[in-house]
Chain A
């Protein structure tokens, strides 16, 4: 158990809808990262938050947004969903000091029908 909790584990929704994925980092970790894993792709970095502030941004679509709350949990919001958004979404956390390993949750499998 990595100590990172992601909910829900599975999500099935329709095109055009909006969903929210939730992540609770390991106790004491200040940084939260979101990654997307599609069928033929490796893990694609989406966005990172550190202690409530956005720190780095990857290839995150404008339809997607995230935030980190004062209790350090994070939410990834996906809107106007398309079939191609179907993927495994991982959250990871770290202490946030740099050059350190990330601890990953078990992911949320999103299926857009």
Chain B
């Protein structure tokens, strides 16, 4: 059973608009959440994280929102740029020691 679900395999957005990527998790005991970005032929790279004591964390164009009651995480990218086109993975630190459980990813395509 998937502990982390990204229900949208893909998302297309126009340059300059907002991209919203969503993630749902099953276990209310998870306390650390992360987003990774992956370009083809490269490994995933860390983007932004949030701990369960917060409901929002912002880093430049990227903001992560955490809704603990709904067990829902979202990543907002504003404004979206063509270089943001990549696969985005949601992850939780489910075991501790930074052993991450990942969702299946959402492919974001930002068109000019």
Cα-based distance from A61 to B44 in the complex (angstroms): 23
How many A-B residue pairs lie within 8 Å, measured between CB atoms? 70
**Contacting chain B: which of A13-21, A64-72, A78-86, A89-97?**
A89-97
In the complex, the answer to whether A56 meets B89 with C-beta atoms within 8 Å is no
Smallest distance from the beta carbon of B97 to chain A beta carbons, Å? 5
Pick from A41, A43, A44, A48: contact of B97, CB under 8 Å:
A48
The answer to whether residues A56 and B97 also contact, given A42-B102, A43-B102, A99-B32 and a CB cut-off of 8 A, is yes
Find chain B residues with CB under 8 A from A50 CB.
97
Find chain A residues with CB under 8 A from B105 CB.
42
The answer to whether residues A105 and B32 also contact, given A43-B102, A45-B99 and a CB cut-off of 8 A, is no
Smallest CB gap from B4: residue in A: A42
In the complex, the answer to whether A2 meets B98 with C-beta atoms within 8 Å is no
Pick from A4, A31, A41, A106: contact of B98, CB under 8 Å:
A31
Where the two chains meet, the residues of B that have a C-beta atom closer than 8 Å to any C-beta of A are 4, 6, 32, 34, 36, 41-46, 49, 51, 89, 91, 93, 95-105
The 3 closest A-B pairs by CB, nearest first: A104-B43, A101-B46, A42-B104
